[in-house]
Amino acid sequence: MIGALAALAPTTAVGVTLGLVLLLVTVVRPVAGLALFTYLAILETTPLLLNGVTAAKLLGVLLFAVWLGAVAVNSAGLRHLAVERPAVLAVLLLFGVWTTLSVVHASEPAASGPPLMRLWMDIALVLVAYAFLTDARAKLTVFKGWALGTVTAVIAGLLFGPSLSATEGRFVAVGTDPNEFATLSVASIAFCVGLAITRGRASVERALWSLFAVIACLAVFLTGSRGGLVALAAAAVAAVAVAQRRRGRALAAVIVLCGLAVAYFSAIAPPEVRARIINPGSGTGRTDLWTVATRMIEANPLLGVGVGNFPEEAGRYLLVPGLLRETQFIVVDPKVAHNAYLEVAAETGLPGLALFVALLGIAFASCRRAWLRAEAIGDRHLAVAARALFVALVAYAVAIVWLSQQYGKQLWLLLALAFALPDLAAAPDRQRASSPQASQRRRRWTAPRARRRAATATTR
């Protein structure tokens, strides 16, 4: 059937075939499907399928369908956020409901549709990812998908992306914004380092993940993203803080990283990028957008102006005392606030901001609690995963000061990974009992005992 379809509509046949492959992977091993989704989400626009549907969106729908089926049949081993962490689910849903209700007083309700859709898909992603993350190795599998997606995007950008002369000297990965990709790359560095230092890996594999960390670091430099560099610095400080026994090595790596950054931007970077870093000015209009967002919050502190309505409402806050230098991003070509915290507060009020920050705070606390518990029970994999995730979250929490990525799927995937951590450490016996090695050990110890019982019964 697929062969006949290929003869009539080759593009459709490719899409159907890829969809079947993704469905098989997701049904057989949901964690692998989640890792593949992470990989494809970084390559957001590649490849295009039926009517512009990307592979990442198709796989996201399949993951949600598999999760619904597992919930319906009460599949064994499936985790439930509502059962294990009901308070987290309450904050999550409250943020979603409060943001949705902001549409009621929005001046342009139609503008609220896209961000609301992204938000509720993000909430669904948290539920699905939490359900399928059953052990620390599953998290490391997702880390691999993130890291490989970043490296693939770098290679694709170098081979098929626009030339540096066409992008003011800034590297642009395929299908991504330079600033967003810089943030992805910083998180990828944390994951690659975590994978490289995990015990039990061959030397070749450690060297490979270390190489990928270097590639991701170079990608941050090449993007010329000021927010990305600040996020990298924050991640470096966080890495030193959580390294504990490896703190000396982490500090040495940070010193080398600083030397590489100085060398690149002083001697290698294109003049446009060097000027962009050394003389940031008004942040390409960001400071004016932040001023308008602050005025918007002061005028609507409780309810905000409605989700997705910042660009629609920004022009009304120009006729207020105070200097604005680049009003074209407010009047001629309205932009988002380029600050997730200010935009959430401006659109959903201070209660919405409090809920958003609470979710980030819960994620940080979950990582810390998980690595403390993991150390107490001797779970090396979980301890490394928790620390790497903590560093990646620090990078994102800092980076979104310059980006309106409050509904970006990567941020919410990080939240899901963090929410799932503490209970993995809290139930080590359940994890060990469900592993194949544990099953083999049980058979090895119980088989002789069963034979002795049988022999005793025969003698009697």
pLDDT tens by residue, 271-285: 888 888 887 655 456
Q: What is the pLDDT of residue 284?
A: 59
Q: What is the distance between the alpha carbons of residues 448 and 450, in angstroms, rounded to a whole number? A: 5
The answer to whether 234 and 398 are in contact (CB under 8 A) is yes
Which has the minimum average pLDDT: 31-40, 45-54, 256-265, 372-381?
45-54
**Residue 9: DSSP 8-state:** -
pTM of the model: 0.85
In this predicted model, what pLDDT tens digit does every residue of 164-174 receive, in sequence order? 555 667 887 76
pLDDT at 14 over 90: no
Task: Kindly state the tokens that stand for 6.
Answer: 């290929």
The answer to whether 370 and 422 are in contact (CB under 8 A) is yes
Which has the minimum average pLDDT: 96-100, 279-283, 285-289, 441-445?
441-445
Q: What is the pLDDT of residue 447?
A: 46
Largest CA distance in the chain: 100
Place of tokens 């034979």: 451
pLDDT at 324 over 60: no
Angle among Cα 94, 58, 360 to the nearest 5 degrees reads: 30
pLDDT at 80 over 50: yes
CB environment 81-107: b (16+ within 10 A), e (fewer): beebbeebbebbeebbebbeebbeebe
pLDDT at 451 over 90: no
Q: What is the pLDDT of residue 356?
A: 97
Mean pLDDT for all residues in the chain: 82
**Residue 54: DSSP 8-state:** B
In this predicted model, what pLDDT tens digit does every residue of 139-179 receive, in sequence order? 888 999 999 999 998 888 888 766 655 566 788 776 678 88
Mean pLDDT for 243-256 is 87
Rg (Cα) of the chain, in Å, rounded?
A: 24
Q: What percent of the chain has pLDDT above 90?
A: 44
Report the interhelical angle of 113-132 vs 409-419 (nearest 10°).
Answer: 30
Mean pLDDT for 386-390 is 95
* Beta-carbon contacts of residue 40 (< 8 Å; ≥ 6 apart): 54, 55, 56, 59, 149
In this predicted model, what pLDDT tens digit does every residue of 345-364 receive, in sequence order? 999 999 999 999 999 999 99
* Beta-carbon contacts of residue 353 (< 8 Å; ≥ 6 apart): 341, 344, 345
Q: What percent of the chain has pLDDT above 70?
A: 78
How many other C-beta atoms are found inside a 10 Å radius of the C-beta of residue 352?
25
The answer to whether 299 and 348 are in contact (CB under 8 A) is no
